[in-house]
Copies of this chain bind each other. A is one copy, B any other.
């Protein structure tokens, strides 16, 4: 068997939909998840593309995520959209709540959307990029399971707690979007090093004895560390409070207590904030952002966050997504 197989993005989408439906998702949920998976593959984000489909399917089959979840969107305050995900996967509540979030942000200047009872297992940039495509600034915050130590600590407490930021651009450019974990490394990166017998850099984590280690197995048994020392840990703490605190979703350590070992996502909280630069009277916002970006690109090897994704986006829709053949076979098995 060849090691890789190339799928068109339409094939990625329909294969993902089929695997999810065969695992118990209804059409609306399968479509929303497949959309996020397909956009990840379009941008070359292998770690959040088809690679995640088996995890989604396991969570559906284990009953950890409801396949027929029907999220409810309500405006809980003039600036607050609240979504109850009905214990399903995150893409559908995110897709259903986002139009109201955008409308409220334009009306009010700033708006927030909190989501609870939904399982986030994807990248964050697909949640916020559509807002920036409509001219809005956006930030988002998601917590997860207890993997990361607080500043100075040695026990897992915070999730890898990613946050993202999206900024609209002028002149037909795709928005500038970044999306990053508060941990020094993604958990998957450490798992892959363990599988392949490689060591990990110092700073990724501590062993179960609380001591620094470069052995990925010890980090997985012990605790991950935040990026950038205590400053990254402060970001992780903020994400925990914004994502789980405001939504009433599970704190990362609470999610751990509920977790049944299914390998899929848990029901944490999510927060998305959207702002309309026009409401601030910042009528030169887009051109000033472009001047800033020009200065970044003038600086030799400096680059804009997300530029590799956008380069992939120009190429992959034509060339197709190159996937591990074994993964494609596994997902075809799930879809059968």
Contacts and interface: CB of A to CB of B under 8 A. Distances in A.
Interface in A144-158: 149-155, 157
Interface in A246-291: 246-248, 251, 253, 273, 275-277, 279-282, 284-285, 288-289, 291
Given A228-B227, A237-B305, A245 B288 contact: yes
Interface stretch (A23-31, A35-43, A296-304, A322-330): A296-304
A12 to B, nearest CB: 28
A107 interface: yes
A280 B110 contact: no
Name the residue among A229, A285, A296, A303 with the largest chain B CB count within 10 angstroms. Answer: A296
A130 interface: no
A107 B110 CA distance: 13
Contacts of A281: 76, 82, 248
A241 interface: yes
A234 interface: yes
Given A109-B112, A299-B155, A302-B150, A280 B246 contact: yes
A1 interface: no
Nearest to A165: B238
Bin the interface of chain A by size: 35 or more
A232 B232 CA distance: 8
A239 to B, nearest CB: 10
Contact of A151 (B80, B275, B305): B305
Given A82-B281, A280-B80, A241 B167 contact: yes
A199 interface: no
Given A79-B109, A111-B79, A112-B110, A251 B291 contact: yes
Main secondary structure of the interface of A (DSSP, over half): mixed
Contact of A247 (B114, B210, B279, B280): B280
Interface string A115-158: 00000000000000000000001010000000001111111010
A240 interface: yes
A178 interface: yes
A251 B292 contact: yes
A246 B289 CA distance: 10
A175 to B, nearest CB: 12
B238 A232 contact: no
A180 interface: yes
A318 interface: no
Given A273-B273, A288-B245, A303 B77 contact: no
A4 interface: no
A246 B86 CA distance: 36
A32 to B, nearest CB: 23
A107 B108 CA distance: 11
A280 B80 CA distance: 7
A195 interface: no
A109 to B, nearest CB: 3
5 contacts: A137-B246, A149-B302, A157-B299, A244-B288, A253-B292
Given A77-B280, A108-B108, A227-B229, 8 more contacts: A78-B107, A79-B109, A79-B111, A137-B241, A155-B299, A178-B238, A240-B292, A251-B291
